[in-house]
Amino acid sequence: MLKIVPETPSIVEKSGVKFVSGLFINREHTIVVIVGAEKSENVDRFLVEARLVHWNAVRILPSLTLEEGVREIQAATPVF
């Protein structure tokens, strides 16, 4: 980890992801990072090349900003 952290900016650029927030770490071997990417494959590439998948469980939660979520709800046809 000590070797890979200084390389993170170049890994981010090479992977095609954009850091939104993070890296946040804790003593439970949990790392939280919020990234944006055009394709899910870019996120996967970042996780592998940053070696985050080697010592951590990985959860990817596709998400929208609050504003995007509200627009999506407003554009949807009501169910009832």
DSSP state of 1: -
Q: What is the pTM of this model?
A: 0.74
Q: Domain boundaries in the chain?
A: 5-75
pLDDT tens track for 34-50? 999 999 999 999 999 98
DSSP characters over the chain: -TTTGGGHHHHHHHHTEEEEEEEEE-TTS-EEEEEEESSHHHHHHHHHHTTHHHHS---------HHHHHHHHHHSPP--
Contact 52, 11 (CB under 8 A): no
pLDDT of the residue at 28:
81
Asked if residue 55 has pLDDT above 90, the reply is: no
Confidence of residue 56 (pLDDT cuts 50, 70, 90): confident
Asked if residue 62 has pLDDT above 80, the reply is: yes
pLDDT tens track for 13-36? 999 999 898 788 888 878 888 999
